[in-house]
A and B are shown apart, each in its own frame.
Chain A
Amino acid sequence: MDFSETTSSQPDIREFVAVVLAGFGNELSPLSSGAGGEPSPKALLPIANQPMLDFPLAWLEQSGIKDVILICPTAHRQAISHYIHSSSSTSLRIDVHPYEETEDLSVGTCAILRHFTHLIQQDFVILPCDFVPPPSLPLSSILNKFRTESISDGCMSTACWFAPRRSEQGTIPDEWGQYEFSTPIVYDPVTGTLLHVDTPDDVDRNGDEIELRMSLLTRYPRTRLSSNLQDSHVYVCRRSVLDALAQKPTFDSIREEFMPWLCKVQYQRAKRERYGSVLTPTTNTLNQNVALRHSTTGAPNDLFSLKHHASLGEKNVAYSAPPSPTSDEDNKGADASLRVGVVIHNDSSEYAARANTLHSLLELNRSFLTKAQWTLPTDPKDRALIDPKAQISSDSIVGESTRVEERTSIKRSVIGKHCMVGKMAKIVGCVLLDHCVIEEGAKLDNCILGKNTRVGNKAALSWCITQGGYEVEAGGSYKNEKLEISDWAAGGTSSEGNDGTSEDDEEEEEGAEESGESED
């Protein structure tokens, strides 16, 4: 690796580059399915009327990282670039790089990372587009842990796990898909070291027991096994980690395969011997190169290697003879801990989550609602759109240019921009994306409506999710369903049947609503 070109062309030294991975969000279907041939990138799905991508980007900006490589599917490139260039408030330098992927045949995160290795020339941070970090956990605290430990004892990578808030089981219908289960991990709370991540492969191999190596337990005699933490998918890594990744071509997922493997390198001697030299090629290459660049002597390479050996404390090495490769390797294995650090965020008062399931998307929206203080918009144009007789509870968010007509009641909901909410509509606990149209007397509770959804007169939806552009016919009634355009045609007849049978449902819902009102 020769960094001299990079460093000389760019005077400011970049310490970290951020790699933001944006995928299709298959778990978020039908919201992420797009509408009318137009894709609906997951990264731009809003949380409290803000595209979710904003959260990691703001987090990055706050930490002082400047360079962002945003990797997204080719189909989403245009939408995402457009969004990034239109919102100019950010000081980040964001490069959008597309990769070929289709929804059905998704490419593993490892493959993506391998493909873009050439773009990453320094230590890097991988983060997903869907992580909504808790306010009390700045990215810089994770970076600082990495900085300290990578210098002091050769830490390879620092991950971040958090305790998700347990939502009451059973409140969310099964039709919404599986709730993200936490993964059991073993970590050392004293040094903040991630030691073992339980992977699906482990479960396949031994479904009854979690198998831990004795070498782990000897090295870290007192560890903690926790099964209620979730991976934030935020990893700060050394550049050399990519070289190790290049040697493991079979790995597919960073989270499920590569990171668990990296944990094992810490304590499995054979892996250390084999990959230790890859992972710690020459300690702090960048820093030393920078130091050399600033030095007045214009140091040749051999001086550098001398320094390197001296820094390892190998005073006895005869410098005239090159050290044998094996002893060199041994030294590196022994010196560097190859640790995988971990920051455990365990503050139940704050909500942190990855918006990668429908549940967490809804929960995240709601968590912002608890802080929301809705008042009439100050902009007179917007204010005029809201009928004075509409009831909007203070824990709601209503986007700009949205019209709310009289005697409408909105509670605990997020209403997107440019929506139309008709008379007498009732919206409780819902998330409406932009440009939705709710006609007169419609009742919505606990629904997520995709962009441009149209809900007809007196339709009633409960725990439903609609694909963008879906139109619910007047008087239609649905419960616990994902409404997608593809089965729209068939929907006409089946919903007729539904109508006949769902009288009871409606009554129940009304009952539920009433009780909801009394709560408020």
Chain B
Amino acid sequence: MPPKSFNVGKERLIDDEEEPLQAVILADSFNKRFKPLTTSKPRCLLPICNAPLLDWTFESLSLAGVQEIFVICRSHADLVRAAIRESKWSKPSSGLKIVPILTAKETFSPGDAMRDIYTRGLITTDFILVNGDLVSNVRIDEVVKVHRERRKTNKDAIMTMVVKESGAKHRTRSRGDSAVFVLDAESSECLHYEPVTGYPPKTQVGIPREILAEHPEVEIRNDLMDCSIDVCSVEVPSLFQDNFDWLDLRRDFVHGVLTSDLLMNTIHCYVVKEGYAARVKDTKSYDSISKDILARWTFPLVPDDNHPGGHAYEHLRGNRYIAKDNTVVLSRTCKIGNNTLIGSSTHVFDNAQVISSVLGQKCKIGVNTVIRNSYIFDGTTIGANCVVENSIIGAKVHIKDKSRIERGCLVADGVVVGPEAKLRPFERVSKRRDTEVGDDDEDEESEEEEETEGDDQEEDDEDDEDESEDEDDEDSDSELEEAEANQAAIGATLGEDTNAIAWPLKSTEGEDSDADEMETFDNQRLMRMGDSASDLELTDPGSITSSEVDSDSDEEDGFMVSRTRRASASATSLPLTTPSTELLVPPLASAMEKEFQSEVSQSLERAFAEGHSVDNAAVELKTLRMSTNVPLRRVREAVIAAIVEQIPIVEGNMAQQRKEIANVVDRWGELIDRIGGVDAVETVSILQTHCASSQRLPLFGQVLAALYQNDLVEEDDIREWHRQPASRGEGMKPGTFSENMEKCWAVGTRMIQQFDEQEESEESGEESEEGED
């Protein structure tokens, strides 16, 4: 909850239209989809159509009339700062006030950045939150107006997300990272947010039934592109402060706010029908957004007008853009295709072809070279007879003669390859470190630290490789080290004169159980430039999904369907990726639960040992549950197990034993109902299951009696439990476990008999409890 002063401030501001519009740019991407291009500069400074992304973002914001911008930078902060200082926006005439904010190295997620914003107290009014890789011509000021208008009547509407209508299969809409929005048909209030990953494919979307009670007509939209432009109220950073486990703006914050029963806040969507807005989230969107800019979808932000880098281009037929300053040298025999942008001082030599590509400034394209669907940054030289297709080539790269770079390669700044280099598809190449050690000190994208834990493991696995040279303790870039270690294995033909190393093709992070499901390798493939992922196509949401789930929803069809599906799957998909990843998913989930169980038992042990209050223990459990997202039943199981195991066993002294039980249950029993839901019948059956598989089987009756005395379990609940066939151990394999279950059930039977007798003879409840024991 925001401090009081904020509320007061905000109320004043709503009346005061003159308040400067503030914006916050998260200039760090918090992921590494552009590696290794981002080893020497942050993503927001990568050029798209020859202007840094950050400048496109500034341009978009200034179009919306923003006056004050805070740029939150983390990795390569000084580069970002220098870029801001030098950009045209920091000139007094621009009317923009840009403040770079350097956050701590420990900021690993947008959530951390928001907490940082809160602690610094930067924000005084409603603000626009965008990422540093935004290209947009949307009138964000309209959204701000709508948002403020709504706030006047509804104080709980804390955020407005800008989404763009695009269709489910729009090229700029990422297949690997999209979402389903459930909106109120009238007010476009966002009622449910469901993130969708491309692989493993999401099969189902669950829409909470409770939203239908208040919103009988809702729209389910799978055709919206999330522009990541949010108009936030001042409370938003403070909410992050209160919920320290929120990391992602969408999957944690939006989901958290919408599902929370404590926060009464609402989030709205603003559906943009006209205009353009997209984020360069990955190389695929880099590709599609570049094409969109060249195709003038972003008008008035186009290369020949309002170019954010301040360049001047001449717009020729077929969306060809040539720098205007007469420094471009095009050979008479070269061929420039449609949708191409060529920066100043670039030479294209005889018979070279440049098709649907962007060339930076001062590039040289050699004789007979073909450049197709590629992006080449400033100062790069490409020799004669080369082929570069569907790739991104960094700045000051030298590709020597007769090299072939095809399909989805990323070549980092300063790399030299060739002659006759041949890069495999999706090869990622960067400069070897030891050639220029000094350069590396700053070379960390934010996420590398995040990675270390996983990579340490990885290194253990890879120990057989020669790692003798990995002495460089200052730089913890283990992935790079690993890449170096694996050079021999990769054996890419990078050419004689190369200074480059190739990165492992399959990123290791997918195997890391901590890794985000968004970042698994196969999902990342959907975000890769030039990767049609046709071998994954089968699993594209919408085709195979249906049959998979079909088999369990429709028992009678089950056999047939699953058989046909498997047959078709093996027939059409590459065996390489599909089976392994299919196996990968369930262990992940169970690992999550296992981890949760150990966490809970630790947390409870601590609580028991240190004598926390029930309240505190409950809060801790709730947080744990939220962070791991396990079902409530698991929590209950863990709590009951912990409580039962907490009871010391006293041999041979019934009275003493009873006292011990009463002690524990009196003190901690309440916790069972404080974990976020009350279900006494389930409590009894969990207690039974636990006792049946534990040393404390003889205690079942007494614990149950103690729960009953503490009003945690009512008589009706016990009867209900007793009625359930599962309680009798039905349907279980015969063995000690089911015998024990039966024993417990028998105890319950006795208890119920006593209840009945008690009713008849109208004895006091306590006596009957005594008798029970």
Residues of A within 8 A of B (CB): 184, 186, 205-215, 217-219, 221-228, 248, 250, 261, 264, 267-271, 273-274
- 28 residue pairs from A and B, CB less than 8 Å apart: A184-B212, A208-B209, A209-B209, A210-B208, A210-B209, A212-B220, A213-B542, A215-B541, A215-B543, A217-B542, A218-B222, A219-B542, A222-B221, A224-B185, A225-B212, A225-B220, A226-B218, A227-B212, A228-B216, A248-B556, A250-B556, A268-B547, A268-B550, A270-B551, A270-B565, A271-B561, A274-B560, A274-B561
User: Which residue of chain B has its CB nearest to the CB of A250?
Assistant: B556
Q: How far apart are A165's CB and chain B's nearest CB, in angstroms?
A: 14
The docked-state distance in angstroms from the alpha carbon of A212 to that of B212 is 15
Residue of B201, B209, B541, B564 with highest tally of chain A CB at under 10 A: B209
Q: How far apart are B174's CB and chain A's nearest CB, in angstroms?
A: 14
A270 and B557 contact, CB distance less than 8 A: yes
Q: Which 10 A-B pairs have the closest CB atoms?
A: A270-B547, A209-B206, A268-B546, A218-B542, A221-B223, A214-B541, A215-B542, A221-B168, A217-B222, A221-B222
- Determine chain A's interface SS by DSSP, over half rule: mixed
A212 and B205 contact, CB distance less than 8 A: yes
With A186-B220, A221-B167, A222-B221 in contact, is A208–B208 under 8 Å at CB?
yes
A210 and B545 contact, CB distance less than 8 A: no
With A213-B545, A218-B542 in contact, is A225–B207 under 8 Å at CB?
yes
Q: Point out the residues of chain A lying under 8 angstroms from B208, CB to CB.
A: 208-210
Q: Is B549 an interface residue (CB 8 A)?
A: yes
User: Which residue of chain A has its CB nearest to the CB of B208?
Assistant: A209
B221 and A206 contact, CB distance less than 8 A: no
User: Which residue of chain B has its CB nearest to the CB of A202?
Assistant: B553
User: Which residue of chain A has its CB nearest to the CB of B562?
Assistant: A270
With A268-B547, A274-B557 in contact, is A224–B218 under 8 Å at CB?
yes
B205 and A217 contact, CB distance less than 8 A: yes
The docked-state distance in angstroms from the alpha carbon of A95 to that of B554 is 36
With A184-B212, A210-B209, A274-B561 in contact, is A269–B543 under 8 Å at CB?
yes
Q: Point out the residues of chain A lying under 8 angstroms from B96, CB to CB.
A: none
Q: Point out the residues of chain A lying under 8 angstroms from B564, CB to CB.
A: 270, 273-274
Other than the given A214-B545, A225-B218, 14 more pairs (CB < 8 A) read A211-B207, A213-B546, A214-B541, A217-B541, A218-B542, A267-B546, A269-B546, A270-B546, A270-B551, A271-B546, A271-B554, A273-B564, A274-B557, A274-B564
Q: Is B747 an interface residue (CB 8 A)?
A: no
Cross-chain pair count, CB within 8 angstroms = 129
B541 and A211 contact, CB distance less than 8 A: no
Q: Point out the residues of chain B lying under 8 angstroms from A210, CB to CB.
A: 206-209, 212
With A224-B185, A268-B546, A270-B561 in contact, is A218–B541 under 8 Å at CB?
yes
User: Which residue of chain A has its CB nearest to the CB of B548?
Assistant: A270
User: Which residue of chain B has its CB nearest to the CB of A201?
Assistant: B553
B168 and A227 contact, CB distance less than 8 A: no
Q: Point out the residues of chain B lying under 8 angstroms from A223, CB to CB.
A: 219-221
The docked-state distance in angstroms from the alpha carbon of A451 to that of B77 is 87
The docked-state distance in angstroms from the alpha carbon of A304 to that of B358 is 57
Q: Is B594 an interface residue (CB 8 A)?
A: no
- Interface 0/1 of B518-555, CB less than 8 Å to A: 00000000000000000000001111111101110110
A215 and B209 contact, CB distance less than 8 A: no
Q: Is B217 an interface residue (CB 8 A)?
A: yes
Q: How far apart are B211's CB and chain A's nearest CB, in angstroms?
A: 9
Residue of A211, A217, A267, A270 with highest tally of chain B CB at under 10 A: A270
The docked-state distance in angstroms from the alpha carbon of A226 to that of B186 is 12
With A217-B222, A270-B561 in contact, is A212–B207 under 8 Å at CB?
yes
Q: Interface size class for chain B?
A: 35 or more
Q: Point out the residues of chain B lying under 8 angstroms from A271, CB to CB.
A: 546-547, 550, 554, 557, 561
Residues of B within 8 A of A (CB): 167-168, 180, 182, 185, 196, 201-210, 212, 216-223, 540-547, 549-551, 553-554, 556-557, 560-561, 564-565
B205 and A214 contact, CB distance less than 8 A: yes
Q: Point out the residues of chain B lying under 8 angstroms from A274, CB to CB.
A: 557, 560-561, 564
Q: How far apart are A215's CB and chain B's nearest CB, in angstroms?
A: 4
Q: How far apart are A278's CB and chain B's nearest CB, in angstroms?
A: 13
A214 and B203 contact, CB distance less than 8 A: yes
The docked-state distance in angstroms from the alpha carbon of A268 to that of B560 is 14
B221 and A221 contact, CB distance less than 8 A: yes
Residue of B206, B220, B551, B553 with highest tally of chain A CB at under 10 A: B220
Q: Point out the residues of chain B lying under 8 angstroms from A228, CB to CB.
A: 216-217
Q: Point out the residues of chain A lying under 8 angstroms from B212, CB to CB.
A: 184, 210, 225, 227
Q: Point out the residues of chain A lying under 8 angstroms from B561, CB to CB.
A: 270-271, 274
Q: Point out the residues of chain A lying under 8 angstroms from B209, CB to CB.
A: 184, 207-210
Q: Point out the residues of chain B lying under 8 angstroms from A206, CB to CB.
A: 206
User: Which residue of chain A has its CB nearest to the CB of B541?
Assistant: A214
Q: Point out the residues of chain A lying under 8 angstroms from B542, CB to CB.
A: 213-215, 217-219, 267
The docked-state distance in angstroms from the alpha carbon of A270 to that of B216 is 32
A211 and B557 contact, CB distance less than 8 A: no
Q: Point out the residues of chain B lying under 8 angstroms from A208, CB to CB.
A: 206, 208-210
The docked-state distance in angstroms from the alpha carbon of A184 to that of B213 is 11
With A221-B222, A228-B217 in contact, is A215–B545 under 8 Å at CB?
yes
User: Which residue of chain B has its CB nearest to the CB of A196?
Assistant: B220
Q: How far apart are A270's CB and chain B's nearest CB, in angstroms?
A: 3
The docked-state distance in angstroms from the alpha carbon of A224 to that of B218 is 6
The docked-state distance in angstroms from the alpha carbon of A269 to that of B348 is 50
Which listed residue, A207, A213, A214, A225, touches B182 by the CB 8 Å rule? A225
Q: How far apart are A308's CB and chain B's nearest CB, in angstroms?
A: 25
Q: Point out the residues of chain A lying under 8 angstroms from B205, CB to CB.
A: 211-214, 217
Q: How far apart are A479's CB and chain B's nearest CB, in angstroms?
A: 31
User: Which residue of chain A has its CB nearest to the CB of B549?
Assistant: A213
Which listed residue, A214, A221, A225, touches B201 by the CB 8 Å rule? A214
Q: How far apart are B560's CB and chain A's nearest CB, in angstroms?
A: 7
Q: Point out the residues of chain A lying under 8 angstroms from B202, CB to CB.
A: 214
B180 and A217 contact, CB distance less than 8 A: yes
Residue of B182, B540, B547, B560 with highest tally of chain A CB at under 10 A: B547
A217 and B168 contact, CB distance less than 8 A: yes
Q: How far apart are B218's CB and chain A's nearest CB, in angstroms?
A: 5
The docked-state distance in angstroms from the alpha carbon of A274 to that of B542 is 16
The docked-state distance in angstroms from the alpha carbon of A248 to that of B219 is 32
User: Which residue of chain B has its CB nearest to the CB of A198?
Assistant: B209
The docked-state distance in angstroms from the alpha carbon of A218 to that of B537 is 14
The docked-state distance in angstroms from the alpha carbon of A270 to that of B566 is 11
A269 and B220 contact, CB distance less than 8 A: no
User: Which residue of chain B has its CB nearest to the CB of A215?
Assistant: B542
User: Which residue of chain B has its CB nearest to the CB of A188?
Assistant: B220
The docked-state distance in angstroms from the alpha carbon of A268 to that of B269 is 30
Q: Point out the residues of chain A lying under 8 angstroms from B556, CB to CB.
A: 248, 250
Which listed residue, B168, B207, B557, touches A209 by the CB 8 Å rule? B207
A227 and B216 contact, CB distance less than 8 A: yes
The docked-state distance in angstroms from the alpha carbon of A215 to that of B553 is 15
Q: Point out the residues of chain B lying under 8 angstroms from A269, CB to CB.
A: 543-544, 546-547
User: Which residue of chain B has its CB nearest to the CB of A272?
Assistant: B546
Q: Point out the residues of chain B lying under 8 angstroms from A205, CB to CB.
A: 553
Q: Point out the residues of chain A lying under 8 angstroms from B180, CB to CB.
A: 217
Q: How far apart are B532's CB and chain A's nearest CB, in angstroms?
A: 17
Q: Point out the residues of chain A lying under 8 angstroms from B167, CB to CB.
A: 221
Q: Point out the residues of chain B lying under 8 angstroms from A267, CB to CB.
A: 542, 546
Q: How far apart are B580's CB and chain A's nearest CB, in angstroms?
A: 22
The docked-state distance in angstroms from the alpha carbon of A219 to that of B541 is 10
The docked-state distance in angstroms from the alpha carbon of A227 to that of B553 is 22
Q: Point out the residues of chain B lying under 8 angstroms from A227, CB to CB.
A: 212, 216-217
Q: Point out the residues of chain B lying under 8 angstroms from A225, CB to CB.
A: 182, 207, 212, 217-220
Q: Point out the residues of chain B lying under 8 angstroms from A264, CB to CB.
A: 546, 550
A215 and B546 contact, CB distance less than 8 A: yes
Q: How far apart are A426's CB and chain B's nearest CB, in angstroms?
A: 39
Q: Point out the residues of chain B lying under 8 angstroms from A222, CB to CB.
A: 219-223
A270 and B550 contact, CB distance less than 8 A: yes
Q: Point out the residues of chain A lying under 8 angstroms from B182, CB to CB.
A: 225
Q: Point out the residues of chain B lying under 8 angstroms from A209, CB to CB.
A: 206-209
Q: Point out the residues of chain A lying under 8 angstroms from B557, CB to CB.
A: 270-271, 274
